Chain A
Amino acid sequence: MKIITGNDLRTGDVIWWTGEGWSRHVNDAVEAGDHADAIIARENAKQIVTDTHVVDAEQTADGVRPAHIKERVRALGPTVRLDLSLKPADPDAGNWVI
């Protein structure tokens, strides 16, 4: 599948396109289908998100997982600071990154 990601302009947070808006959780990302370019153009014009781009991903039993390790690291946070990831209490939070 193809999903859309970017960074929140104000905070820099990594965010994912949910079909209606933006979420910090990659699991909320949806298939962008053939509309990715149009969505990106429209969202960029709102000036609230930056560095928007499309990434390859896969729908797994555990949720949406970007294909490339760089995007998986973006989705989780630094693998060496799991305390700063989105699920800070979960020691296995990083298992799907590598």
Chain B
Amino acid sequence: MYQYDSYDQAMVDARVAEFRDQVERRLAGDITEDQFKPLRLKNGLYLQLHAYMLRVAVPYGTLNSTQMRMLGDIADKYDRGYGHFTTRQNIQYNWIKLSDAPDILADLASVEMHAIQTSGNCIRNTTSDQFAGAAADELVDPRPYAELLRQWSTFHPEFDYLPRKFKIAMIGSETDRAAMKLHDIGIQLVRNDAGEIGCKFYVGGGMGRTPMIAPVIGDFVPPLQMISYLEACLRVYNRYGRRDNKYKARIKILVHEIGADEYRRQVEEEFAHILTLNLEPPPAELERIKGFFEQPGFEAGLSDDLDLSDPDFALWVDQNTHAHKQAGYTIVTISLKPAGGIPGDATADQIRLMADLAKEHSFDELRVTHAQNIVLPHVKKADLYALWQKLDEAGLATANLDLISDIIACPGLDYCALANARSIPVAQKISARFADLGRQRELGELKLKISGCINACGHHHAGHIGILGVDRKGVENYQLLLGGSEGADTSLASITGPGFSEDGIVDAVEKATDVYLAQRADGERFVDTFRRIGMAPFKEAIYAKEPVNG
């Protein structure tokens, strides 16, 4: 877990005091909305459909139980008893009063959290692998590097006014669980033939209205030069990124327009220059940071055996736990996607319960996943049944991880001012239609992702099945996309054809799954079958005219 030093705490506290003063002046009418809006956005405070919305940064998705408990308390004290965990591994509150915002930020600062750089054209909160430090397949723990990145990017004056927002993902294992190639920059820690660790840089990915998969720009950058290389990547972007057109301002457009080779050439040139300035962090600093992320005190020699005689427990273990690097331990993912529920929402009580369970069973650690679930990274297998029973009692034991009802959905028109259509009701109807767990397991891994507009906060381009809400003459309409994926096999989904009504899209999804079930070969996931047989059979089934009954 990262720890604030006295500088961090002083900066964050000063920021709270500054914002308190700004809010007071705004409420007194001393500054106008035009003057105030950029100041509140700098502190993560948006105005959405129903009230102010506060977006809180969760550094690389990592929380301790004290922080998690505070998130629950804030939901109770200042909001309406719930919060929304997002694809950016953050949490958003939907019903914030401006007059309360400074107190909320002060409460967050008291547990080493803030809402800085969660809006605006700056480097946003870095995202990472939710299994960091725990996964059996991990090569290097990415968190110390993500922390270095956090310290570098926080209040970095040169990159506070980029052409557009900037999102970095950082991973340290073979399996990409962070959609790395769909970020402005994805950094993967890899090992070369000599056994040394290096950073592989993917630059220029993204979703939104022009989805792109990031090409490799840097093959193997030594870890201590990671920051300098990032500096170079951002400088080239800051210099040449399109500031004239908001829709072409992301780095993906620059890399695409000048080409990966030319972009790489410019980055290398800048990088060579930066290296002459000796700006690399001292090795001792990286070592100091690594000290924050020491392995917790695992017990050695534990057995991996589990009593799976309770069938519901066995299903949940099969679906929602992952292999841990330490024998006798496992990684638990708590699904925030109950059948018919709102993806990513959790009540204050649920949030506090998860905090307590982390304290009791997971060495005080929790993670937020980009799929809007919560992870307890280090659970002793001997405790697993007791843990599951407590989760079950609180409605948190849905055994649907990576199944069709484990839907990513953005807030859509129910909350978001930019939306064209509602996302949540579509997610609810699909998860209700496929509520039967046996049926879901029969369909296997199926990632369904819904966005309420082209901004793609719900990652619809990367869904095995994606749904995009559009506005058709003032009426909500939904486009269906198939064949997207994130991770090692990242691909962008294609639109099937004309859109559907809210109920129509649920039927269309079901027809697509029917095609898969009829056509799949052994061991194929939905997306594999789609890749093999192509769009045509799906299109045919989805748009077939209903037979007219005599």
Interface residues of A (CB under 8 A from B): 7, 9-14, 44, 46-47, 50-51, 67-70, 73-74, 77-81, 84, 98
Contacts and interface: CB of A to CB of B under 8 A. Distances in A.
A72 B414 CA distance: 10
**Secondary structure of the A side of the interface?**
loop
B99 A50 contact: no
A47 B95 CA distance: 20
Given A69-B474, A80-B424, A80-B428, 7 more contacts: A7-B51, A12-B47, A12-B50, A50-B47, A73-B414, A73-B422, A98-B476
Contacts of A7: 47, 51
Given A13-B51, A50-B33, A69-B476, A79 B26 contact: no
Nearest to B101: A12
Contact of B413 (A67, A69, A84): A69
B317 interface: no
B51 A12 contact: yes
B33 A78 contact: no
Closest 9 CB pairs of A and B: A47-B29, A12-B51, A78-B414, A12-B52, A80-B424, A11-B97, A50-B33, A10-B99, A74-B49
A79 B425 CA distance: 8
A26 B52 CA distance: 19
B100 to A, nearest CB: 9
B514 to A, nearest CB: 28
A81 B417 CA distance: 17
Contacts of B97: 10-12
Contact of B50 (A46, A50, A77): A77
Interface in B402-459: 413-415, 417, 419, 422, 424-425, 428
A68 to B, nearest CB: 6
A78 B50 contact: yes
Interface string B451-475: 0000000000000000000000011
A14 B98 contact: no
A70 B413 contact: yes
A12 B425 contact: no
B49 A70 contact: yes
Interface in B40-56: 47, 49-52
Nearest to B27: A10
Contacts of A12: 47, 50-52, 95-98
Nearest to B342: A80
B388 to A, nearest CB: 28
Contacts of B94: 78
A4 B80 CA distance: 27
Contact of B98 (A9, A69, A70, A79): A9
A51 B49 CA distance: 11
A67 B342 CA distance: 27
Contacts of B474: 67-69
Contacts of B476: 69, 98
Contacts of B95: 12, 84
A50 B37 CA distance: 10
Contacts of B49: 14, 70, 73-74, 78
A79 B32 CA distance: 32
B232 to A, nearest CB: 40
Nearest to A47: B29
29 contacts: A7-B51, A9-B27, A9-B33, A9-B98, A10-B97, A10-B98, A11-B51, A11-B97, A12-B50, A12-B51, A12-B97, A13-B50, A14-B50, A47-B28, A47-B32, A50-B33, A50-B47, A51-B47, A67-B474, A69-B476, A70-B49, A70-B413, A70-B419, A73-B49, A73-B422, A74-B50, A78-B49, A78-B414, A80-B422
A73 B424 CA distance: 13
B415 A78 contact: yes
Contacts of B28: 47
A73 B98 contact: no
A47 B414 CA distance: 27
Contacts of A47: 26, 28-29, 32
A16 B33 CA distance: 19
A69 B476 CA distance: 9
Most chain B CB within 10 A, of A14, A74, A80, is at A80
Contact of B422 (A9, A13, A79): A79
A4 B50 CA distance: 15
Interface in B470-499: 474-476
